[in-house]
Amino acid sequence: MLHPSLEAFSIMLMFTGIVADVGEVLHVTPERLTVSTPKLFAELDVGGSIAVNGVCLTVIELAPATESFSADLSPETRARSNLGTLRRKDLVNLELPLRLWDRLGGHLVLGHVDTQAELVSITRKEKSLLCRFAVDKSFSRYLVEKGTIALDGISLTIFNIKDGQFDVAIIPHTWEETNLRTRRPGDRLNVEFDLIGKYVENLLRWSSR
């Protein structure tokens, strides 16, 4: 029998931070979001899950005419993530949940946003781009040199960490196949820190009591 904490872990919805499509926002209100995704529409089911900019949402309605889905936005989702600031025609990163037989192309992601990061700068480095981000310094403990992070649902590797700021290198494919290509300095992206690190931190906190 699995330890209770591992048993819970085994039934969680998982993503990998590998963006499957870039959807277009058709309609958004404080309570609901509608996104067009011709590429993924055939795989969607009402009641199923989908990650939108790294936020795990539940599909509540499908519209074949526009190949779109709708999902409700809770107050917590609006407050914690950038979904509450989306506007019509904005582009969002989409990913379907990991299946047990799938390859883990990125890293384990739950679709639960911890905070937001501000895009500080974009610098071209030969064919790639170097993006610098900043989070509140209180989250510095989750920033690990050459560790993983999910930004708007994209699995990325961080480096050059200092005072809550860090760099990520973006290859041309990632730039073109995600909504990063629409981002500018000052924009805020959803952040999910490494899942394993947060579990370890919580277990150590409890074991020290």
pLDDT for 127 equals 85
pTM confidence score = 0.89
For the chain, give the longest Cα–Cα distance.
56
In the structure encoding, which two tokens stand for residue 104, read together? 């883990």
Q: What string of pLDDT tens digits covers the 209 residues of the chain? A: 334 443 344 445 789 999 999 999 999 999 999 999 999 999 999 999 999 999 999 999 999 999 999 999 999 999 999 999 999 999 999 999 988 777 777 788 999 999 999 999 999 988 899 999 999 999 999 999 999 999 999 999 999 999 999 999 999 999 999 999 999 999 999 999 998 888 888 888 888 77
Reference 15, options 60, 52, 42; nearest CA is 52
pLDDT for 100 equals 76
Say how far apart CA 60 and CA 70 lie, in whole Å.
6
pLDDT for 12 equals 59
Chosen CATH of 115-207 out of 3.40.50.720, 2.40.30.20, 2.60.40.10, 3.40.190.10: 2.40.30.20
Class of domain 13-95: mainly beta
**Shared fold status for 13-95 and 115-207:** yes
**Long-range contacts from 3-6, C-beta under 8 angstroms, 24+ separation:** 5/199, 5/203
Say how far apart CA 35 and CA 25 lie, in whole Å.
4
pLDDT for 4 equals 42
pLDDT for 6 equals 37
Domain-by-domain residue ranges, the chain?
13-95, 115-207
